[in-house]
Amino acid sequence: MRSIDGPQPMEHESKRLLSGLGLPVPKGVFIKKTEKKISKEEVLFKTGGIGFPLAVKTVCPAIRSKSEAGGVRLRIETSREIVDAVRKLMEIEGSRGVLVEQMVEGGTEAIVGGLIDAQFGPVVMFGLGGIFTEVFRDVSFALAPTSPKEAQRLISRIKGQSVLQGVRGRLPVDFKTLGAAIVTVSRLMATGLIQEIDLNPLSLFPRGAFVLDAKIFVLPAEHFVLPDEHVRPGITGYI
């Protein structure tokens, strides 16, 4: 997706919104940065209910790629490791805090996104993650909002669709959950309040899925594009 300099909720805020709309996100907690160095006891108290292994990410609006900036620690297995990871990622310049989440691995990575197209208006996008999108540009688009039936057609249009059906002994992904994620993103885009959404990756499993990273860019108020009445109820109250 494109880089945008508009208003952007932090990752935990975006995930809270998405979770409220029914999209599955990993169990986690945001730990806010303060002037005082966080104690071992506070770290363990706030993260104790999640369970190992853990993933820890810096929350810093100025950073476009947390991985490239050294702002991610994965597969945290012990109390000592989680305390060390939280303290070090808190030290990153501009950090607002850290997001500690359950570690999710083994899924098929996909991308679900949306943007305001200059010609067509709100659109929703779907593609497989990794090389399928980065190299082969294997993505499909549809106008927003979209229906569950239209979402399944969107999925079927990518060239790598067979990966979702299961290859080399893997089971098919949960197409119902994937379709629901596409519909939800499309409805958000159709509110006219959102400039861009990027769920990347959305990790797909035979039963369920998890939004592992989420970016939402909100349009400035003067640029709101209000949609038709029939797409407003049930969504705008979350923004």
Tokens of 28: 């986690």
Q: Delineate the domains of the chain, giving CATH numbers in brackets.
A: 27-102 (3.30.1490.20), 108-238 (3.30.470.20)
The reported pLDDT for the residue numbered 132 is: 60
Whether 5 has a pLDDT exceeding 50, the answer reads no
Residue percentage of the chain with pLDDT more than 90 = 74
Cα Rg of the chain, angstroms:
18
Whether 223 has a pLDDT exceeding 50, the answer reads yes
**Beta carbons of 143 and 183 less than 8 angstroms apart:** no
**Beta carbons of 18 and 210 less than 8 angstroms apart:** no
Each residue's pLDDT tens digit, 143-158:
999 999 999 999 999 9
Each residue's pLDDT tens digit, 22-54:
999 999 999 999 989 999 999 999 999 999 999
The reported pLDDT for the residue numbered 234 is: 32
How far apart are alpha carbons 148 and 154 in whole angstroms?
Answer: 10
How far apart are alpha carbons 45 and 31 in whole angstroms?
Answer: 11
Average of per-residue pLDDT across 180-194: 96
How far apart are alpha carbons 155 and 159 in whole angstroms?
Answer: 10
How far apart are alpha carbons 140 and 146 in whole angstroms?
Answer: 13
The reported pLDDT for the residue numbered 133 is: 63
Q: What is the mean pLDDT of the chain?
A: 87
Backbone angles phi, psi at 21, to 5 degrees: -90, 5
How far apart are alpha carbons 63 and 82 in whole angstroms?
Answer: 22
| pTM given for the model | 0.86
